[in-house]
Structure 1
Amino acid sequence: MTGDPHSRTDGEAPEDTCGFALADRLAARDARGLRRDLRPIDRVAGRARMAADPRRDRPVYGDEQLVFGSNNYLGLARDDRVVRAARKAAAAVGTGAGASRLVTGDTGLHRALERDLAETKGTERALLFSSGYAANVGTVAALDPDVIFSDDLNHASIVDGCRLADAETVVYDHCDSGSLCEAMAARQDERDAGESWLVVTDSVFSMDGDVAPLSAICDAAERHEAWVMVDEAHATGLYEGAGIVQREGLGDRVQVQVGTLSKALASQGGYVVGSDRLVEYLLNAARSFVFSTGLAPPAVGAAREALRIARQGTRPARLWNAVDRLRDGLESLGYDVLGETQILPVVVGDRDDALALANRLSDRGIVAPAIRSPTVPAGTSRIRIAPTATHAASELERCLDAFELAGRELDLV
């Protein structure tokens, strides 16, 4: 007679005696320096209090710190106008959509934001998803291309979409249109008649802060009759109120544009914009859309108002002023700062040095996360700085002062 695995008294968890061995897996992550903890924050803003991971207990927050590690680029997450829009949507429509959009979860509010996004992006139509991750996974899998050409540093959601599509995936060198051209030319001789090819790339890369060479990518794709899909997650709302595709005038050459509402637009959810036929197909075939409850109305209302502010207000200009000051200040201190966008990766190199620098910054009231392998290649560990449009000039100077003192203490500058 077998025993009841739920009635053990020896301290062993059931999952560690049934082949899953979660304790061993966690120990292995510890040994490789890959174990991470959640750190609750009391509010989403340029200033906030953080707590050590409380596990099952309530968090105990420390002193207020300046947050330079958020994707709330325009500082709209606590903007009164955006908060009011979320409340208004909840009062008018409800706190949740209640069902899949294909059942009863499709509201006029969803359609209004989709019209706004399509207008902003200059496309025929848009479709909202529950997250940017869901938009990427669902779109790539639904398109089901025969061959995918994917940038080496594409986001995990794109990578997972390639896996779900079960397509032949060719990875080309990061932001290297020449590598893409070579990969496509090498595969052309084996191409079957009618074979569908998809080139997919982020526009702004979240860990390097650089921008894909979209025009050259479109050139390569057109030579080989391939479609181009661009993820504008870290660009939406920041470049002419739209994205890199619009800044570079490539709207008629990029067949699929994907993005998120959770970064500059200070809300939740993802979207796809493109032709009417593309959207009509995805709302029928993208499983992450079909089988998910519609985006919560407060998130839709908040994102719609944030998009309006991004297009018509001064927030983007204020963000770029903050970015320029931090980049100039960090480089003058001797730090190596990558990229050309609102994301400022300060390369340290050694993993332990990056962690030590992040801790010293935290001691001085600056939240700026250390990013290390496997998120970035070994030997390129870094501090990822992301200012917001609402950081005051004095707060930017405080951040630079902290980097100067901490860097000297660690012999990094």
Structure 2
Amino acid sequence: MTERGFDLDARLRERERAGLRRHLDPAESVGARTRFSDDPRGGAPEYGDERLVFASNNYLGLASDRRVLQAAENAARAVGTGAGASRLVTGDTGLHRALERDLADCKGAERALLFSSGYAANVGTIDALGPDVVFSDELNHASIVDGCRVGADETVVYDHADPGDLRARMARRAAEELDSAADEAWLVVTDTVFSMDGDVAPLDAICDAAEEFGAWVMVDEAHATGLFGEGGGIVRREGLADRVDVQLGTLSKALASQGGYVAGDEALVESLLNAARSFVFSTGLAPPAVGAARESLRIARETDRADRLWKTVEALRDGLASTGYEVLGETQILPVLVGDRDDALALGDQLADRGVVAPAIRPPTVPEGTARIRVAPMATHTDDEVARCLDAFEAAGEEVGLL
């Protein structure tokens, strides 16, 4: 009989051969430092020595903050541990509405809508809008790429953070489809802070190009929410809320919780809650996650927590550069460029041996020849911990032969 199944063992062997197979390493806790274990595969984890974590998206260090923990507990006691159903059935609670109002206010939008994840928000939103053409930055997150695959008739990829190339590709499309392009719906999609390069999209110029051709602009603020513009992200910092049609983000990074959101005008939110399949057919976000995210957003907006992060970022960037490393970006994400894939893996291993968790990022996640260590500090890292991280980078770089 012809075998029509899937040879998953062969796929795993190929990943192993290419050095791309990943493994789970459970952490004891979430914070600036923790202990790790090899995957116990059902047994009890055996944690080793404590390590400093410089690889987490918990940028404000709020995942273990007592105020956030208490908010999650209060939400569970008041509403329950789960929403119980889709928001359109019985899973819509006052807690969900309160966070949506806070997010809309923070983003300068009329309304916001919670999704089960940022990934679900991207895929569901693009699919619900159903654009004829999406113009997508070449380094956009995988969730945007998948959203385009599911929901767009055609996707045109423009050069990273290059509004000139975006404008040229839109002009070319308009010229090629002169008879029909006027009736098409166009969507320009970009991350604001790019997760692997740590740079920021030139949103003002992107909006200029989109407006020239009557296109909508959608941005993903996953790595910006809670950190810029008094918590409102790059869009709020740049004063572009009235020019960006769809603001999207996650609650799982600086806001130390789980879930995603979309913010925009009334018609957008009403359309999404009716047509976004990843919203309509998903159980409402768990109340403890909603409570935790709401308290994290309040802390981000009302305290100096982000200022503490930026001081740590500056100290790390200056220290790494003075040691001899090339550090990319301009945000809280500090990509230490290595280049060679094997060198980056060796550097990551040497850092781990010295008690610092900052794994290598290599192709295909990043382009060939640009393997790197992605350093992501938290507001809760102390001066001593930053110094230990820099010492580890210096010693590890010398051991690998990069310095």
User: Which residue pairs with 2:140 in the alignment?
Assistant: 154
Partner of 1:48, secondary structure, is strand
Q: In the TM superposition, what is the alpha-carbon distance from 1:18 to its structure 2 partner? A: 4.7
Partner of 1:388, secondary structure, is coil
Match of 1:195 among 162, 184, 194: 184
Distance of 2:219 and 2:325 partners within structure 1: 31
Distance of 1:297 and 1:114 partners within structure 2: 13
Query: Could you list the per-position Cα deviations for residues 263-286 of structure 1 after superposition, in whole angstroms to 9, with x for gaps in the alignment?
Result: 000000000000011000000000
Quick check: 2:124–2:276 contact (8 Å CA) kept in 1?
yes
Q: In the TM superposition, what is the alpha-carbon distance from 1:59 to its structure 2 partner? A: 2.0
User: Which residue pairs with 1:350 in the alignment?
Assistant: 340
Quick check: 2:134–2:152 contact (8 Å CA) kept in 1?
no
1:81 aligns with 2:67: yes
Q: What fraction of aligned residue pairs are identical, expressed as a percent?
A: 72
Distance of 1:24 and 1:402 partners within structure 2: 38
Distance of 1:233 and 1:245 partners within structure 2: 12
What is the one-letter code of the residue matched to 1:196?
A
Q: In the TM superposition, what is the alpha-carbon distance from 1:61 to its structure 2 partner? A: 1.0
Match of 2:22 among 36, 40, 59: 36
User: Which residue pairs with 1:139 in the alignment?
Assistant: 125
TM-score scaled by length of structure 1 = 0.95
Query: Could you list the per-position Cα deviations for residues 124-157 of structure 1 after superposition, in whole angstroms to 9, with x for gaps in the alignment?
Result: 0000000000000000010000010000000000
1:368 aligns with 2:358: yes
What is the one-letter code of the residue matched to 2:120?
A
What is the one-letter code of the residue matched to 1:52?
D
Distance of 1:264 and 1:166 partners within structure 2: 30
User: Which residue pairs with 2:394 in the alignment?
Assistant: 404
Matches within 5 A, 1:90-101: 90-101=76-87
User: Which residue pairs with 1:111 in the alignment?
Assistant: 97
User: Which residue pairs with 1:244 in the alignment?
Assistant: 234
1:232 aligns with 2:218: no
Point out where structure 2 has 5 or more consecutive residues left out of the alignment. none
Partner of 2:347, secondary structure, is helix
User: Which residue pairs with 2:196 in the alignment?
Assistant: 207
Q: In the TM superposition, what is the alpha-carbon distance from 1:17 to its structure 2 partner? A: 5.9
Q: In the TM superposition, what is the alpha-carbon distance from 1:166 to its structure 2 partner? A: 3.8
Quick check: 2:227–2:306 contact (8 Å CA) kept in 1?
yes
Distance of 1:37 and 1:167 partners within structure 2: 36
What is the one-letter code of the residue matched to 2:193?
V
Q: In the TM superposition, what is the alpha-carbon distance from 1:314 to its structure 2 partner? A: 1.0
Point out where structure 1 has 5 or more consecutive residues left out of the alignment. 3-15
User: Which residue pairs with 1:290 in the alignment?
Assistant: 280
Query: Could you list the per-position Cα deviations for residues 299-351 of structure 1 after superposition, in whole angstroms to 9, with x for gaps in the alignment?
Result: 00000000000001111000000000000000001101000000000011111
User: Which residue pairs with 1:50 in the alignment?
Assistant: 36
TM-score scaled by length of structure 2 = 0.98
Partner of 1:188, secondary structure, is helix
1:328 aligns with 2:352: no
Distance of 2:62 and 2:146 partners within structure 1: 30
What is the one-letter code of the residue matched to 2:277?
R
Query: Could you list the per-position Cα deviations for residues 8-33 of structure 1 after superposition, in whole angstroms to 9, with x for gaps in the alignment?
Result: xxxxxxxx965200111111111111
Partner of 2:231, secondary structure, is coil
1:223 aligns with 2:217: no
Q: In the TM superposition, what is the alpha-carbon distance from 1:194 to its structure 2 partner? A: 1.9
Distance of 2:3 and 2:73 partners within structure 1: 48
Which deviates the most, 398-407 or 160-169? 160-169
User: Which residue pairs with 1:278 in the alignment?
Assistant: 268
Distance of 2:353 and 2:208 partners within structure 1: 49
1:254 aligns with 2:240: no
Distance of 1:242 and 1:164 partners within structure 2: 28
Match of 1:392 among 382, 387, 391: 382
Q: In the TM superposition, what is the alpha-carbon distance from 1:241 to its structure 2 partner? A: 1.5
Distance of 1:56 and 1:78 partners within structure 2: 25
